[in-house]
Amino acid sequence: MAGMWLLLSLFVFGLAEAGKLLVIPSDGSHWLGMKPVVEELGRRGNQVVVVVPEASLSMGPSEQTTTLTYPVNYTKAELEANLADQLNTVVSIDISTDLARFQTFIISLDLLQTFILRTAEGLLFNKDLMKKLQEYNFDAILTDPFEPVGAIVGEYLSIPAIYMQVNLPCGVDTLASQCPVPASYVPQPLTHFTDHMNLWQRSVNLVRALLKPTACRRLYTVADEIASRVLQRKTSIVEIMSRAALWFMRSDFAFEFPRPLMPNMVMIGGMATKKPKPLSQELEEFVNGSGEHGFVVFTLGSLISQIPEAKAREFFEAFRQIPQKVKAFITHGGSHGIYEGISNGVPMVMIPLFGDQGDNVQRLVSRGVAETLRIYDLTSEKLLVALRKVINDKSYKEKITELSAIHRDRPIEPLDLAVFWTEFVMRHKGAAHLRPAAHELNWIQYHSLDVIAFLLLILVTVIFVSVRSCMFCFRKCFRKTQKRKRE
């Protein structure tokens, strides 16, 4: 009897606790950041269904989850060739001026359209799959808004959506969450500015902030059309995302400049993406043999194989000339590498390639923990100068050690936080209590423009009435005086 009671309560408890989660990730390094959360949610007994295309760069089955795939009209080889093309385009532009960076921003928006479209048709117009997803009766969706297809699916299924993201190019996260972004000290994406800007930079930044809605409209032109078609009403990606239950920000203030947040933003930056594995015997021997000089770790992320040969030669030329003094880290400034660098307290030489990497680099350079080089005009000499600087100048090591201590000192691990809040949304069918009333105001109301007009109207009326009253009194007195004079 007691045993049955235990079983029954376990069953009830299980039903009450475990949820059904739909996951639609984004490709490349984006999936690396989401995978640990998804696997941990599965391990905790939730039913997690991950939907990925048949061809992708990095996405595939994960532990403790169900994976559903759908056919797409491209192959993995085509994806890689496409990315190499894009990399070559971006790498060949000199982005040392604000105008050039603005052009790169526009180019990036247009290039990203291809990402957005890539999976949209394969998933959204796959009737069998969409029907299957509907039958699952999910409690929530966890998706990467980098590819807005997940947002559209969430809206189609009418389930609460959690967006896990790094830096979104058009700033749709702050736009859709109604998060204040003062243009005077919060740099816009792809400006490469820090939080200390001069008058010119603040001007560029304000213009970029004002262009945000236009940029998002440009980025999501086709996505908006597809969303309207799937949902059978006129809508936009920004509108859909404004209904987000939560925003998981893959960021941390040991790295990101301090700026306002909304209550439904959860900072989960610096989550360990995978457990450290022991080194291979060959690497182990290499590291142990490095002696007093230490060693340098060099990586340019998942796209290293696409680097032009001439550039590669410059790297090897520089490496030949250093005695591998203290530990340093050469990186392209992708978000995973950055947090590994911070976490392990290693000074960095950063060679940003594209996307948010240029912004990331500025954040670390301004903290005095990294030096940056441009891939556009990289030479072995420049690389050597930068490497020697971060290795020999002790201040880099001191500052990164401090940053590492701050970053690692937290009340709760980012992974646990992400898992908790995902389950929270499943338990409470959303997070309505974190949704600001700002969403119910239009642009004019939000900025109190109608109030200012109203207050001005009152002021003008008061002045007008006062002046007329004064004039009336004045005329009366004046007439009397004239009359008296005549008398």
Q: Closest separation between CB of residue 320 and a second copy, Å?
A: 38
State the binding string over 268-297 for a second copy (x if CB under 8 A, else -). Answer: ------------------------------
The angle formed by the CA atoms of residues 359, 364 and 366, to the nearest 5 degrees, is: 90
By beta-carbon proximity to a second copy, the closer residue of 253 and 286 is 253
Which of 264, 234, 237, 235 is CA-nearest to residue 249?
Answer: 264
* 440 interacts with a second copy by CB under 8 A: yes
Which residue in the set 8, 312, 416, 482 belongs to the binding site for a second copy (CB under 8 A)?
A: 416
Binds a second copy by CB under 8 A, chosen from 262, 351, 364, 373: 262
Cβ-based neighbour number of residue 478 at 10 Å: 11
Of residues 409, 483, 484, 486, which one binds a second copy by CB under 8 A? 409
Site for a second copy in 198-217 (CB under 8 A): 199, 202-203, 206-207
170-183 b/e with 16+ CB inside 10 Å = b? bbbbbbbbebebeb
Q: What is the DSSP string of 405-457?
A: HHHH--SS-HHHHHHHHHHHHHHHTS-GGG--GGGGS-HHHHTTHHHHHHHHH
**Count of residues engaged in binding a second copy, rule: CB under 8 A:** 53
253 makes contact with a second copy (CB under 8 A): yes
> Does residue 99 interact with a second copy by CB under 8 A?
no
- Applying the rule CB under 8 A, the residues between 169 and 198 that interact with a second copy are 179-180, 182-185, 195-196
For residue 171, give Cα distances in angstroms to 198, 396, 487.
Answer: 22, 31, 79
Q: Which of 76, 132, 427, 480 binds a second copy (CB under 8 A)?
A: 427
Nearer to a second copy, 45 or 182 (CB): 182
Is residue 258 within the footprint of a second copy (CB under 8 A)? yes
Give the CA distances from residue 23 to residues 45, 141, 237, 261, 367, in Å, rounded to whole numbers and listed in that order.
Answer: 15, 6, 18, 25, 36
Which stretch of DSSP H or E encloses residue 267? Answer: strand 265-267
CB under 8 A: which stretch of 141-149, 300-308, 356-364, 441-449 binds a second copy?
Answer: 441-449
Which CB atom, from 320 or from 433, has the smaller least distance to a second copy?
433
Residues that bind a second copy (CB under 8 A): 179-180, 182-185, 195-196, 199, 202-203, 206-207, 253-254, 257-264, 403, 405-406, 409, 411-412, 416-417, 420-421, 424, 427-428, 433-438, 440-441, 445-448, 450-452, 454-455
